[in-house]
Amino acid sequence: MLLPNARKLFLLITKISFRVCEGFCIKAKPENTSHPVDFNTGMTSPNSSHQPNPYTLLHIDEKKTIINSIKEAIGSEGFERTRIRRDAWFGGEMNEQSQDEKYMQMALKLAGKGVGEVEPNPAVGCVIVKDGQVIGRGWHKKFGQSHAEINAIEDCRSSGNNPAGATVYVTLEPCCHEGKTGACTKALIEAHVSKVVIAAGDPSEHLDGKGIEQLREAGIKAGVGVCEQEAKLLNAWFLKYARKQRPWVIVKWAQSIDGKLAWSNSEGERGWISNERSRKDVHKLRRSVQGILVGINTVLADDPLLTARPGRTSYPFQPARIVLDPEFVIPLDCKLVTTAKTSKLIIAVTEKAMKANAEKGKELLKEGVVVIAIPVKGEGYDLDALVEQLGKFEIARLLVEGGAETITSFLKAGVVDETRVYIAPKILGSKGDVGISEVMGKLAEAVQLYHVTVQKFDGDVCLNGFLREAHNF
């Protein structure tokens, strides 16, 4: 006997098969009055001069009904995992769809090259295809420099190719405004490309569909949704900040197999838990964020600089350093304070502590330190309000590197978007200190990770995961 969900899915497949057969019968009838789906609008066009596409078998309402039914049958998560694309099932030939995905995967790979240098801009890649051949490639390489589309067009022309009439694959909606660089839509229009395939839309207030609209008004076909999930995963932090003006929060820690965050007396390789390759990866992560946060206990114990080494070659050269210091006890001679004029330092304290240490606040102000108030909430502090405030400092991506208490407090407050854990192949036992498992035992609810990736760094294992699914970004 079929299970209820399996029965539903079986009936849906039967219905779709019936419609496919019906579609081929329709194709043979010259008197057919069904209309093709317009790639530009997503709607049927009764005035179109084109012949009906034999693969466009279902009208828009029917498509939506079947897609919703499939989601109900196999669940939203299962639907996402299948990577079903609407156009592949309902709007175009399967071969064309697979080609679109092939070129978009190339563009996504190019986009990844910009990570760590383009933020707070999103990482974007672009591929230009003509007559089945790639004639141009580009990606956004550095903040403040040319975007992916413009670089791809320049690459095209530098190799003697003409982009006119070509199809452009780009991982994010092209911008249509003049900023540090020219508008990408203008460049695409002036290049006379015929079609632009976009992985994901840009929800920024100055864009949000305007780029696509501008391309269509110029007679260029434009559509969104090829490899959309992969594109959203690449720029999840950007999509959140664009919609909410709140930072994407990453908590990061390194631990031994038995859950210890530190050596008890700085034994081992300079007291490190993780190895050199893992630490290099951490600095790459630091280069991609706009803020690094630790608790005051980390400052008192380690006197860190909290810089990315080496720094970026593009602005901002270093992320802002943030210290969660409710009682305002940070030493005036610590490295963070003495370097505040070269790298921004933000200290979050309670209003009570701020008033009680007014003179200290004035001294820190002279050193270029920014002091902000964090509200008290119950027996702790309002981390949600803190994250909201940090968004006003144009921190789109916040890395929390604090100790076990700080990390757990952020998880408990429900403000974390992503976790990154480096696990070293060591059991420290009595030689280890600060057991994170014991501290995380304070969490009232379990934390589920999605889109988990695993990397190996010379024996260390890095586990990365999001706290929500891609379709919820």
- CA dist., res. 402 & res. 409, Å (int): 10
**Is-catalytic flag, 213?**
no
Q: What tokens were used for 74?
A: 């196999």
Residue type, 316: P
**256: exposed, middle or buried (Cβ count in 10 Å: 0-12, 13-18, 19+):** buried
What six digits make up the tokens of 362?
A: 């004035």
φ, ψ dihedrals at 239, nearest 5°: -60, -40
For the beta carbon of residue 29, count every other beta carbon within 10 angstroms: 10
Count Cβ atoms below 10 Å from residue 357 Cβ, excluding itself: 18
SS3 for 350?
coil
> What residues does 169 pair with on adjacent strands?
127, 197
In degrees and rounded to multiples of 5, residue 85 shows phi and psi of -110, 135
| C-alpha to C-alpha distance for 461 and 473, rounded to whole angstroms | 27
Residue 441 CA: distances (Å) to CA of 148, 405, 409, 447, 465: 45, 11, 12, 12, 20
Extract long-range pairs of 201-209: CB within 8 Å, 24+ residues apart: 201/172, 201/173, 202/122, 202/172, 202/173, 202/175, 202/242, 203/239, 203/242, 203/243, 204/242, 205/242, 206/175, 206/177, 207/173, 207/175, 207/176, 207/177, 209/173
Instruction: Determine the residue type at 312.
Output: R
- Please compute, for residue 301, the number of CA atoms within 13 A of its CA located in the half-sphere on the CB side: 15
4-27 vs 60-74: helix axis angle to the nearest 10?
Answer: 160
Kindly list the strands in the beta sheet with 450-457, ordered across the sheet, starting from the edge strand earlier in the chain: 370-373, 345-349, 320-324, 291-295, 397-400, 248-256, 418-424, 460-466, 450-457
Question: Exposed, middle or buried by CB within 10 Å (0-12, 13-18, 19+), for 82?
Answer: exposed
- Given 117, 119, 149, 418, which residue is catalytic? 149
Show the DSSP H helices in 165-227 as ranges: 184-190, 210-217
Q: What distance in Å separates the CA atoms of residue 286 and residue 403, rounded to the nearest whole number? A: 17
Alpha carbon distance 205, 222 (integer Å): 20
How far, in Å, CA of 48 to CA of 53, rounded? 12
Give the active site residues.
Answer: 149
